[in-house]
Structure 1
């Protein structure tokens, strides 16, 4: 039996500007959508070679290009929201985000817990994760430790995104849309084969929105944004066996930021962020953010006879973000701290600019023989330069602001081999060694004084072992064990009374997963079920104590179950759904009380608490229909998503109760034209997407007048719109 195989939890996807990509009709990836619909194999490439998704010994959820249109998935936020077992917080400013996979969260301003790879290169910093996605061919999201192939930031999983390459066909598309919040979008693609050996592809995306969240004091919307994006790709055939790929990208964004609400949710509502507690922002200072990015990449693919292929890819990223906000999120003046009127004009402005320069390179040698032994090996290098200034304005009381200048040099050596022990039994062994040398200087922004210089090396061997049983092409049972790690790092310099340490340790994960997946009814029904157990050592819990700091939790225990189903119901109807139950709890953990008050203990017992930003339950389901009416093709879909209680901090006080959202879309394809009407969060449900509580943040506990306060960010509510697309 000949099988096609893939790398880890592949989440085969096509991202982009929703309808625009769906009607583009230029890309080879459209074939994958057809394969999914007619019962043939869905092909993924996560293990370094094309192979059938069903044969992959990991949990796999697949979005085809057809799914992108039906679900109108435009950003990485959308894809994560549609994926059980993954949860994302994207707040404060365009670059700040936290992604939780199976109970483990990304850190603010530190190494992420999930690797993000774009066109074969790992993004160096989570600030780059939320750059707008468009004209994308596929994304594979791998859950669980993936360090064996993707390195030190893959302790929770990996996202592998591939943008569309140029093709040998002239053509393109243009799309325009309008939605509530006076939101305008425009997207375009031009594919230009210059010659038999040179092809070009230019893609762009534009979005301009007045926003959806109104500040009740300023009486204006404060979350508006403009996003401008361009990408040029070129494929150059140097010979029959050598292909050179070039990519240049640019992004420029600006808009509102830190539209944060404030209220005594802990005291009045027991920390429950729902109903009357979800007030609009009321601060007297409008937060703003802007960011610019550009990047270059080159990839060389060389065939070495019939047995081997060699690939090298290298790239550079240049990123700058300006971010300014207030920290009291009130319009009362003067602002008091501990009853003392210290801030006559409020705690503003607070500025936190970030600059990033990153060089990344990887070389890989892969076997081409489809026989019983398949392997690849490679070497990885990444240099990251990251400067972040924390200018806390009035809170500095005349002292100068400090800048953290972080430098990281990471090298990785990796190899993977799969071997058919029997015609129906495959074993896969992978190993990677990562070494991350980090140093950080804390420098005065005015005096250039070096307040501290710290350096540390983090390294880890990360093995992975899988056994997969394939009694037929329509069934796989597997068991996979893996180790992952995330580098430690440097906290802001602690003062004499601060509870955090200057440095924090690396985080290590060990996971065991077992699952089954199969196809029934000639491929019209697809099912998967998996269970997992994960142990975390030195879980890096991000806490906001005047600044984002990491407090290491010695142990976190996680176990859970995930399931998914897809079914062609006939008569044009199709169902898809998924669920994940993740039980993520802190082991024995005693920590200093960050806000001790008279009569309260100095040490808190957080043992057994839920880990932050890790809901126990996430569920998704959708029903779609495709049919024709004369010359028109109609595509309609209604989907539902549920997220259970989300605790925003490790004390489990400030939390969002479970919530449900409903999305809908109707599309009409008429020749070269496509039309679309859509809505997200159809019933306008409101919930908190992030929060900081007074029991964890001394500033909020002592803030007045009329304090103490908690701070939180609400979601945007209902969004809807229409768009039209023209192919040419």
Structure 2
């Protein structure tokens, strides 16, 4: 008995003082972060795996050893001597020779602001990991959007003028995008910055369906979630340079490492691009689509304690590019079919110039408490966009235009989320959000009608016309909550709710008015997920979508002084399948969207003594119905087959529109297709990765992307036929070097990305924005 007591007295203090150590870090290989690496405390069952950034976190005993293992790489054991351990894995050729065909990686994403498998999320989600981004050569939204069914992305007029359409919900000019554009958890409200250069990125997610419960207003059609690479505790550097036709020069650089080991880390990255252009202005005999872009991002991360970390991020964007180089008919007619490329040409007498300058700063503070994680996000964003160029789009120097589109935004968000494990039945998030957003739009026009020049010829002196000048201010307060409840091992119920209050006011300097109003909206969302088998998830969800309204610059025959908020009721059902040891992935979904007050865009060009009058209006009821399928097959260790297809049928159920020519006729557009929505889309691709020799590795892809018919106006008179673009890329890696060859639109297909029928603009003729012709080039990447 006495001996037993002595033994207990010796053991209990030892157990009491066996302290735990919180360890985190990053795992990479030569090609970048590794997803799914097993990290286990040696001699125990305590373990975890790395996420899409290669990050991991684990609590271990003092003096423990961590074992890092991954199929095809050498297992490493590292003694725990601090709180941060980064590991670089080395390939094991002997393992690779014996490996059977591996399935696709089980990507863990953050579509719902928590780490979870994409195949377990009751949403339509498409992801691109760091490996995908490199293989596909993704550099901005435009380079990946058209690979996703029922998503279409285009640009026109000038840099920063972007248009994205998702499931029949389109973006309107100078309006809010129908998706949330999220970088590292922060939603950027400025649609001008939607197509910014993407570099040093770890993950891209596109989630479709209303995401207002998590991301707030204007996420009416979904969200694009961009996750950049984080600062690390080891020094890593990457440099890339490239050259393409049109005298295109590209360069990227990233560098990361510790400033104070285990405590303070940095990451600096940047992108530079300069090109002369590929199109031709027949009047000026030069390329109107030139570009020069410089983007820089810096991050500082501090581990203030084992429970608190802070990350400060700053980014600048400075772009100058060609602008307003619309093509007009060259056959002497004012009217032309959207696909009559033989009679479309750029003939403007002015070389348009557009600029985009962006400044972004964010402070993120994370508090990792025992059962709750608290995050504070404080953000300032400023964007300045300007476009100058021709307005009559003819060789005559008659009309010119100049436009400023500027935004200033301050955001403050506080989020609380549960810290749970695999056995938890409930995950939850709560938060509050405040935003102050100023959106300024100044539109100028000038004219030289030649009344004083013989005989009625331009004199070379431009006279200013009336100017549109106003600022819309949005002050938003929102509260939100989201919860997952695991009803059983197979059934999960998710529910979210967000309340937005938007105080909208305008300082209209053109009209001398200052209208204001308050819009409020509840955005509920409910999802039900049923894990029918280990390989099949079935789901259904309902969500309310909300896009804010606002004030126009004035009243015209086409629109009023204000336009209402747009709301939707969204219903979706889907199934996600993973078979053949994860070598066959097939996800299918169908949706039904009921619109109230859908927003459309109106242009009155040259109306009111030469003004450029632009605004938005509502149609009372609209409907969008469609389905989409996304398939991946790993035929072998060196060949993947990728395919997707989507159909989107969107129409106006009840609405009218006023034509701004002749007698300003009001027409009934009920039953017509909604403009700017491709009727269907598809993508078919082949990807390959294999070792050419012990020192040379290959990866490459070829992809065919198709865009269906598109109606350009609500009368459905002008319609573009479907077109397909063929793109390809090949990368050869020699240890630290990678040589890449790429090409886009290899068949040199002609297409347009925007069309203005004179009937709806009161302009001099139909106008079209030409798509980019064939482009090709090479890149060299060095990692050190």
Q: TM-score, normalised by structure 2?
A: 0.83
Distance 1:721 1:22, change over 3 A: farther
2:197 maps to which of 102, 110, 132? 132
What residue is the counterpart of 1:608 in the other structure?
671
Are positions 1:500 and 2:559 aligned together? yes
What residue is the counterpart of 1:14 in the other structure?
none
Are positions 1:245 and 2:321 aligned together? no
Distance 1:197 1:116, change over 3 A: same
Deviation at 1:110, TM superposition (A): 2.2
Equivalent residue runs for 1:44-63 within 5 Å: 44-63=109-128
Partner Cα distance (2:31, 2:353) in 1: 35
Contact 1:311–1:364 (8 Å) recurs in 2: yes
What residue is the counterpart of 1:534 in the other structure?
593
Contact 2:294–2:319 (8 Å) recurs in 1: yes
What residue is the counterpart of 1:180 in the other structure?
245
What residue is the counterpart of 1:117 in the other structure?
182
What residue is the counterpart of 1:323 in the other structure?
387
Per-residue CA deviation, residues 269-293 of structure 1 (Å, 9 max, x unaligned), is 763324424x231010111011221
Distance 1:188 1:397, change over 3 A: closer
Are positions 1:346 and 2:398 aligned together? yes
Are positions 1:358 and 2:403 aligned together? no
What residue is the counterpart of 2:521 in the other structure?
460
What residue is the counterpart of 1:285 in the other structure?
350
Q: SS of the residue aligned with 1:220?
A: coil
Contact 2:113–2:185 (8 Å) recurs in 1: no
Structure 1, 633-642 or 502-511: larger mean CA deviation: 633-642
Structure 1, 602-611 or 202-211: larger mean CA deviation: 602-611
1:234 maps to which of 300, 316, 326? 300
Deviation at 1:155, TM superposition (A): 1.1
Per-residue CA deviation, residues 594-621 of structure 1 (Å, 9 max, x unaligned), is 2236xxx933121222211111111001
2:772 maps to which of 713, 716, 722? 716
Deviation at 1:109, TM superposition (A): 1.5
1:164 maps to which of 224, 229, 243? 229
What residue is the counterpart of 2:376 in the other structure?
312
What residue is the counterpart of 1:472 in the other structure?
533
Partner Cα distance (1:368, 1:508) in 2: 33
Contact 2:32–2:131 (8 Å) recurs in 1: no
Structure 1, 103-112 or 296-305: larger mean CA deviation: 103-112
Deviation at 1:232, TM superposition (A): 0.6
Q: SS of the residue aligned with 1:451?
A: coil
The count of aligned residue pairs is: 674
Deviation at 1:588, TM superposition (A): 2.5
Contact 1:197–1:237 (8 Å) recurs in 2: yes
2:680 maps to which of 573, 594, 617? 617
Partner Cα distance (1:266, 1:59) in 2: 48
Partner Cα distance (1:527, 1:274) in 2: 39
Deviation at 1:472, TM superposition (A): 3.4
Are positions 1:628 and 2:681 aligned together? no
Contact 1:476–1:517 (8 Å) recurs in 2: yes
2:739 maps to which of 675, 678, 684? 675
Partner Cα distance (1:222, 1:212) in 2: 8
What residue is the counterpart of 1:271 in the other structure?
337
Which structure exhibits the higher relative contact order, with contacts defined as CA atoms closer than 8 Å and separated by 6 or more residues? 1
Partner Cα distance (2:197, 2:573) in 1: 35
What residue is the counterpart of 1:18 in the other structure?
none
Contact 2:446–2:465 (8 Å) recurs in 1: no
Contact 1:643–1:660 (8 Å) recurs in 2: yes
Deviation at 1:48, TM superposition (A): 2.1
Partner Cα distance (2:225, 2:332) in 1: 40
Structure 1, 261-270 or 126-135: larger mean CA deviation: 261-270
Distance 1:264 1:280, change over 3 A: closer
1:95 maps to which of 145, 149, 160? 160
Deviation at 1:106, TM superposition (A): 1.4
Partner Cα distance (2:335, 2:662) in 1: 21
What residue is the counterpart of 1:514 in the other structure?
573
Deviation at 1:536, TM superposition (A): 0.7
Are positions 1:427 and 2:483 aligned together? no
Contact 1:55–1:476 (8 Å) recurs in 2: yes
Q: SS of the residue aligned with 1:696?
A: helix
Contact 1:428–1:465 (8 Å) recurs in 2: yes
Deviation at 1:26, TM superposition (A): 9.1
Deviation at 1:655, TM superposition (A): 2.7
Per-residue CA deviation, residues 683-707 of structure 1 (Å, 9 max, x unaligned), is 1101011111111111x2xx3xxxx
Deviation at 1:402, TM superposition (A): 3.4
2:291 maps to which of 201, 211, 225? 225
Partner Cα distance (2:566, 2:468) in 1: 27
2:543 maps to which of 473, 482, 495? 482
Are positions 1:373 and 2:429 aligned together? no
Deviation at 1:119, TM superposition (A): 1.6
Are positions 1:406 and 2:472 aligned together? yes
What residue is the counterpart of 1:16 in the other structure?
none
Partner Cα distance (2:757, 2:122) in 1: 41
Partner Cα distance (1:714, 1:529) in 2: 33
2:52 maps to which of 29, 42, 48? 29
Q: SS of the residue aligned with 1:78?
A: helix
What residue is the counterpart of 1:392 in the other structure?
445
Contact 2:641–2:687 (8 Å) recurs in 1: yes
Per-residue CA deviation, residues 555-583 of structure 1 (Å, 9 max, x unaligned), is 11111110011011015111111111011
What residue is the counterpart of 2:141 in the other structure?
76
1:567 maps to which of 624, 629, 633? 633
